[in-house]
């Protein structure tokens, strides 16, 4: 019983962990935005009915989804420099990896969302003389997006938790910041004990907000 949490103060947090927290949040935001954009494209490829588009997308999505995220983070960080001949920063590497990885999860969500739209909506678009792209953009995707918003946001919360995995390549996120603070004061174990409630408060607050939003926007059928 030699745990001492007293070293931890707001000044310590500001000096070490705040930068990391910003990075964690930034990574979450960028990966969510990029993931949704590329994920939607992947979903459209898979639903296009053209094998040339469907199969590569399916291969990519299923491949990524069966790999552990840590492996993908490590692999990208270690392999890409060999390919391009110069090192890349851990923070930048993590951003690319997260977009590429999360796109596959968002694509499955968007695919389910698009498939949940009744066929009649497509036919209505057709009857109005819309092209396939117009039907998707103006009729189907807005509804799919709205239906899937709570799931997309829940995935974002999972994503935020997963940003802690950039630890593997030494990127400076919130966990790394707290750990660095702990190392400086010889209190690494306490740093982990501090990290847990911080992550908990952020994630719990967000998921409560998502639940509330879900009730608000749910379309009554």
Q: Which tokens belong to 205?
A: 């607050």
- Which of 35, 125 has the CB closer to another protein? 35
- Between CA 48 and CA 55 the distance in angstroms is 11
136 binds another protein (CB under 8 A): no
1 binds another protein (CB under 8 A): yes
- Between CA 114 and CA 99 the distance in angstroms is 21
By CB under 8 A, name the one of 162, 171, 181, 187 that touches another protein.
162
- Between CA 12 and CA 200 the distance in angstroms is 19
- Which of 108, 125 has the CB closer to another protein? 108
Query: Closest distance between another protein and the C-beta of residue 126, in Å?
Result: 27
47 binds another protein (CB under 8 A): no
Interface mask toward another protein for 16-35; x: CB under 8 A: --------------------
Q: Residue 64 in 3-state DSSP? A: helix
CB crowding 159-170: b at 16 or more within 10 Å, else e: bbebbebbeebe
Q: Which tokens belong to 18?
A: 């705040």
By CB under 8 A, name the one of 144, 165, 171, 181 that touches another protein.
165
Query: Closest distance between another protein and the C-beta of residue 127, in Å?
Result: 30
112 binds another protein (CB under 8 A): yes
């Amino acid at each position: 019983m030699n745990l001492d949490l007293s070293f931890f103060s707001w000044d310590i947090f500001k000096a070490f962990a705040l930068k990391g927290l910003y990075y964690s949040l930034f990574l979450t935001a960028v990966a969510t935005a990029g993931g949704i954009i590329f994920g939607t494209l992947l979903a459209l490829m898979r639903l296009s009915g053209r094998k040339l588009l469907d199969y590569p997308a399916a291969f990519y999505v299923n491949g990524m989804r069966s790999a552990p995220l840590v492996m993908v983070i490590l692999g990208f960080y270690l392999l890409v420099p060999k390919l391009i001949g110069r090192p890349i920063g851990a923070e930048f590497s993590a951003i690319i990896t997260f977009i590429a990885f999360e796109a596959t999860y968002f694509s499955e969500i968007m695919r389910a969302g698009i498939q949940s739209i009744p066929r009649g909506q497509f036919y209505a678009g057709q009857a109005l003389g819309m092209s396939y792209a117009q039907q998707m953009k103006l009729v189907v995707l807005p509804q799919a997006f709205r239906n899937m918003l709570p799931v997309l946001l829940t995935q974002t919360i999972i994503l935020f938790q997963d940003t802690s995995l950039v630890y593997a390549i030494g990127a400076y996120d919130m966990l790394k910041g707290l750990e660095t603070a702990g190392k400086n004061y010889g209190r690494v174990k306490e740093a982990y004990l501090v990290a847990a409630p911080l992550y908990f408060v952020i994630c719990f607050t967000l998921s409560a907000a998502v639940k509330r939003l879900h009730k608000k926007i749910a379309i009554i059928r």
